[in-house]
Amino acid sequence: MNNYCLNNSSINTSLPITDESINFTSNYELRIYTSGCYYLDENNSWKSDGLIVGSLTNHYETECLSTHLTTFAGSFIVLPTPINWSYVFANADFMKNKTVYLTMIFTSVI
């Protein structure tokens, strides 16, 4: 208990140094996306002048703020989750993926 008292001068304040390896897992997920706001000009080219992507934009919706009354559209790209090839090849047997294999066979025959 003495180690936790504020006025104890014998407390060791140095950080412990260790060479032990520590394994931990985390379910942290990083989602990367990009959004844009565009309108078609008189030459049928997509332009973004006078349009700003709003602060309420997320990976489901794009908020567009406009300084003109042109009809405009929003777009966004969500990067796909990387494929875990170890899992794919470990679970690639026919009994676990009948639909996939039958679709490939049927498509090849046609």
* Domain limits, the chain: 33-109
pLDDT in tens, the chain (110 residues): 445 555 555 666 666 777 888 887 878 777 788 889 999 988 989 999 999 999 999 888 889 999 888 888 888 777 777 888 888 888 888 888 888 888 888 898 87
Q: Output the CA torsion sign for 53, 37, 34, 77.
A: positive
The reply to whether the predicted model has a pTM over 0.85 is no
As a whole number of angstroms, the distance between CA 64 and CA 53 comes to 5
Residue 70 carries which DSSP code?
-
As a whole number of angstroms, the distance between CA 63 and CA 109 comes to 47
Helix (H, G, I), strand (E, B) or coil at 94: helix
